[in-house]
């Protein structure tokens, strides 16, 4: 059975890993990744399309300069994308987050195993926790980079706006504001770092104790040597 200290440390790391898993699920499920206001020229007037969307679904509404507003419309992101680049990058972000989800699940399993037992295999111990938490954090960071690239670089909002209205002409300006579904991914990275720090302190304390026990005999007291 593991020591009480080990159980507490790995149980704490388990909680952070489960928290990371839950937050990734929330990021995937919620459609508040970005809110965009895209202005277009239309014969006789200008039109602003307001969009709020995530990786799977979103909503849009149209507002003319005269004040006339079209009712809110729901749409599926995949169905509204015709550009291969935008579609591929959106799928890539989903795949990256699903891999991060699996990494977080594996890390939860490893920390739970160490909290209740002493596995003999090295990769099931702190090494495995380091690995899967690092992978999860890195994948989350990649997703945080790819999404703005798709929005800003590939004009994702503009393409989705064209899908909301069939009478749009020239694009004028765009303004983007990233929502909580995007920013909570920073919490995922923080939770993974917390797990790494907890396990590092446990591993470092264990290493120090082991070196203390293996102290050379010349460092022992003289009375012990005489004995």
Q: Which residues have a Cβ under 8 Å from the Cβ of 138 and sit 6 or more positions away?
A: none
What are 148-177's pLDDT values in tens digits? Answer: 999 999 989 999 988 887 666 788 889 999
What are 180-225's pLDDT values in tens digits? Answer: 999 999 999 999 999 999 988 887 666 556 655 656 545 555 454 4
Q: Residue 150 has what DSSP assignment?
A: I
Which pTM value belongs to this model?
Answer: 0.85
Give the span between the Cα atoms of 3 and 71, in whole angstroms. 62
Q: Which of 76, 38, 35 is nearest to 182 (CA)?
A: 35
């Amino acid at each position: 059975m593991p020591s009480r200290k080990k159980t507490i440390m790995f149980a704490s790391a388990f909680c952070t890993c489960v928290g990371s898993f839950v937050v990734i699920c929330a990021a995937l499920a919620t459609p508040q990744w970005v809110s965009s206001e895209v202005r277009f020229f239309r014969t006789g007037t200008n039109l602003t399309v307001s969009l709020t969307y995530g990786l799977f679904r979103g909503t849009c509404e149209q507002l003319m300069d005269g004040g006339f507003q079209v009712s809110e419309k729901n749409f599926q992101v995949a169905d509204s994308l015709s550009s291969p680049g935008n579609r591929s990058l959106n799928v890539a972000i989903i795949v990256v987050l699903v891999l991060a989800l699996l990494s977080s699940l594996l890390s939860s399993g490893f920390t739970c195993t160490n909290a209740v037992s002493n596995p003999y295999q090295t990769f099931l111990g702190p090494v495995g926790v380091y690995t899967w938490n690092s992978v999860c954090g890195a994948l989350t960071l990649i997703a945080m980079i790819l999404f703005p690239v798709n929005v800003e670089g590939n004009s994702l909002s503009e393409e989705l706006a064209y899908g909301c209205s069939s009478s749009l002409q020239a694009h004028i300006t765009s303004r983007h504001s990233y929502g909580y579904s995007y920013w909570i991914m920073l919490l995922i990275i923080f939770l993974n770092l917390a797990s790494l720090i907890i396990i590092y302190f446990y591993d470092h304390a264990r290493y120090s104790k082991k070196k203390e026990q293996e102290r050379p005999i010349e460092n022992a007291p003289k009375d012990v040597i005489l004995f």
